[in-house]
Structure 1
Amino acid sequence: MAIKTIELLKGCGSQEEIMEVLAAVASDMGDVIDDVSSLQVIPLKGAMTNEVFQVKWPSKNGGEVRKVLVRLYGEGVEVFFDREEEVKTFECISKHGQGPRLLGRFTSGRVEEFIHARTLSAADLRDPEVSALVASKMREFHNLHMPGAKKAQIWQRLRNWLGQAKSLCSPKDAKNFGLDNLDEEINILEKKLSEGYQEIGFCHNDLQYGNIMMEEETRLITIIDYEYASYNPIAYDIANHFCEMVADYHSDTPHVLDFKKYPGLEERQRFIRIYLSSEGNRPSNAKVNQLVKATENYTAANHIFWGLWGLISSYVNKIDFDYKEYARQRFQQYWLRKANLLDSPSIVSQDQTLNESLPSFT
């Protein structure tokens, strides 16, 4: 049954502009869209920053159904990244033969090629065969040659986001989330985690299962959504992926994280061995364990990163997701695990206000 675009995309910018772009995209494919009723618009679940829709229409010859993906940018996301830079990244990655093509842009979003593959599920990340494919694809992604300085971007982004959080938050939230202490925490982490050699690669920085697609027959993996992508330590990106294994964004409580599902040592070692082996080299046990250790340490930075993201999002994003509760869990994990992760009890925060204000994790 056809669903009118204006009914599903209302309040998301100029309907006329969206229809003009879709008509232009259809024309490039040799089709004609002259009636909104010919469109079928299907909301896709799982997005936490944007709203995404599959849009379909019959081709001109009537024997094929065309599909594109329409992405509507979330409110307030400009506090997280520069949209123009993100689009440039999208186009550059596409030129490298990675991900979908950009088909059209409008003020509040864009039209992308629809990838004929399925989005992975939370359970897929724990499947050894699928996980091995993801590990190899991640290595390939990290080796992309992209514009910009090849240096860690995580620390400046954390400081920028902390500034945004302080400017947006109520005094109560600022106190409960310990924002006044985070400047020093970020400084300590940067100093500690930057010691010694670390490999820098072009990182996705948000490799949750919803941003990974797999073509069933060929088992080809495609990584999508590059809003947070930048150069960073590869250990940070792997740490992010491991942390995402505790989430199920398609559950009835998508904001609730179950850290009992965090991958065990053997699973982490297997993933990293495959990651390092994907270019034909056979890494030593020492090299594997070195990256395992670095990855574990970077989970600390990862928890602050997504804690700040959740807190800021609770003020700027209207998507139905309990961002603040999500942020509480990420900050709680940071404070609970920091000393063990970094092997340095002396840098445990003296401020216990945050731990006392956060719900206990079950």
Structure 2
Amino acid sequence: MKRLHVTIPLDAPDNLVSLLTDDCQNYEIVKLKGALTNVIYKLSIRDSSGTSTSYLVRIFGAKLESLVDRVEEFNNITRVPPVVGYVNVLYVFDNGRVEYFLEGFKSVSAKQMVQQNVYRVLAQKFKALHCLVSITDKEIAHHRDGMCWYKLGQWIEIIENINGGEWIDSRDHQNVTEILLCRDWATFKKTVLNYKNWLLEEDAESFQQMKFCHNDAQQGNILLDSKTKDDDIPNLNLIDYEYSGVNAIQFDLANFLTECMHDYEIDESYKCHGEQYPSKEKVLDFLYHYSTHLHHGDSKGEASIVKLYNSVLKWRAASQLFWSVWAILQSGQLEAASAKIEAHVPDKGSNRVTSSDDPNEEVFDYMGFCNEKLSYFWGDMIKFNLASKEDCIVSKVRYLDTEFI
């Protein structure tokens, strides 16, 4: 991996051509869809011999550089087993990187996410990632309760402290009631803490068995060989390790299941569709193929799968909470205070959803996304008796199955 000390404008990836090769007869640049984190391009360069080489160019967004530690991300990429995901980083520049382009692969569709042949192979990818990547005592100590709770703590503190809590207090506290669907900020924080403490008590084992996790397995990060037919065993590639790190495996698995409720390729892509959440039978099948793959001393009997099912159910709300708080930081509503954020957590950067100057390109509704996620978060909190209907805007709350086996 070579370091290029250059900043590439979001709309000018062709500036990289002369840096990548001295022998360029012609080149082609195509902006790609499907990435929810960066602006990405396919850059194809043809040399004098007629040989064409294709690269994937990722240019990181400039918003709120407090969400992703790029040094940690690059380190994590090098640890990913090829059986899980092939990411070959060739060059790193100041605001992005260049990888070899994976020809013939494309992001899975929402329909494919819940296809049996796809989710079974993905379950095995998760197990390989969790089992084959070693984690250090230093990592465990740094993320004692897992990456998700570590980052949530940082992000909630940012929202609370930026400009003296301006976002919380603005519009006569309507941000809290309309976006967070909560009676007041104190109740929101109390509910989050109660939920975490409940997990620590009711699911203590999950905190004691942390693994290296992807943490963001959504449509754009699951690539499928386009030659795969509906009934084939698919060739999948799990990419994009911006939010990877030490975490509870239950968060990783639950996050995939909640992502099945989204379709980022349609209008109103911010919406959650509860009816698309996998059925109990599909979840158990998914967890069976996870548990029985690479059997490393963990029990693979029916009792252990039921136990994992119940544990994943408990962690589901953590995924909804994580991405809802993330969305507030990404929304742009805190941009006026971004200098403080950068000073708080230096040398970091991310922008989950591509922004564009193209007036015809849809702008992602971060606050709508936050609101949708939290409607199901509150549903789980009420069902688990961790919040009352008086704590939230109950008319907006939606429910998923929370029945344990």
TM-score (norm 2): 0.76
User: Does structure 2 conserve the Cα–Cα contact (< 8 Å) formed by 1:21 and 1:104?
Assistant: no
Q: Deviations over 1:297-340 (max 9, x none)?
A: 11111111111111221115672201110100111111122232
SS in 1 for 2:325: helix
Alignment of 1:204-353 (within 5 A): 204-215=214-225, 216=227, 219-280=234-295, 283-315=300-332, 316=335, 319=355, 320-340=363-383, 342=384, 345=385, 347-348=387-388, 350-352=390-392
Q: Which residue of 2 aligns with 1:136?
A: 124
SS in 2 for 1:66: strand
Going from structure 1 to structure 2, the CA distance change for 1:41 and 1:181 (only over 3 Å counts) comes to: farther
Cα separation, 2, equivalents of 1:26 and 1:355 = 59
Q: Which residue of 2 aligns with 1:158?
A: 152
Cα separation, 1, equivalents of 2:59 and 2:125 = 27
Amino acid in structure 2 at the alignment position of 1:186:
V
Q: Deviations over 1:160-208 (max 9, x none)?
A: 1112233273523245324433322222122111233123211111101
SS in 2 for 1:197: helix
Cα separation, 2, equivalents of 1:339 and 1:242 = 20
Determine if the alignment matches structure 1 residue 187 to structure 2 residue 187: no
- Identity in percent: 23
SS in 2 for 1:272: helix
Any gaps of 5 or more consecutive residues in structure 2? Answer: 1-6, 336-350, 356-362, 400-405
Cα separation, 2, equivalents of 1:243 and 1:346 = 20
Cα separation, 2, equivalents of 1:162 and 1:337 = 20
Going from structure 1 to structure 2, the CA distance change for 1:128 and 1:96 (only over 3 Å counts) comes to: closer
Cα separation, 2, equivalents of 1:222 and 1:262 = 22
Any gaps of 5 or more consecutive residues in structure 1? Answer: 1-8
Alignment of 1:165-204 (within 5 A): 165-166=159-160, 167=162, 169=167, 171=170, 172-176=174-178, 177=180, 178=182, 179-195=185-201, 196-198=204-206, 199-204=209-214
Cα separation, 2, equivalents of 1:346 and 1:220 = 41
Cα deviation, residue 213, structure 1 = 1.4
Aligned-residue CA RMSD in angstroms?
A: 2.7
Range with greater deviation from structure 2 (93-102 or 325-334)? 93-102
Cα separation, 2, equivalents of 1:55 and 1:92 = 26
Cα deviation, residue 360, structure 1 = 7.4
Cα separation, 2, equivalents of 1:77 and 1:22 = 28
Alignment of 1:6-155 (within 5 A): 11-12=9-10, 21-26=16-21, 32-33=23-24, 38-62=26-50, 64-93=51-80, 98-116=85-103, 117-143=105-131, 144-146=133-135, 148-150=138-140, 151=144, 152-155=146-149
Range with greater deviation from structure 2 (198-207 or 95-104)? 95-104
Amino acid in structure 1 at the alignment position of 2:120:
A
Going from structure 1 to structure 2, the CA distance change for 1:175 and 1:347 (only over 3 Å counts) comes to: closer
Going from structure 1 to structure 2, the CA distance change for 1:346 and 1:78 (only over 3 Å counts) comes to: closer
Alignment coverage as a number of residue pairs: 337
Higher relative contact order (CA 8 A, sep 6+): 2
Cα deviation, residue 45, structure 1 = 1.0
Cα deviation, residue 24, structure 1 = 3.8
Amino acid in structure 2 at the alignment position of 1:256:
K
User: Does structure 2 conserve the Cα–Cα contact (< 8 Å) formed by 1:21 and 1:106?
Assistant: no
User: Does structure 1 conserve the Cα–Cα contact (< 8 Å) formed by 2:55 and 2:99?
Assistant: yes
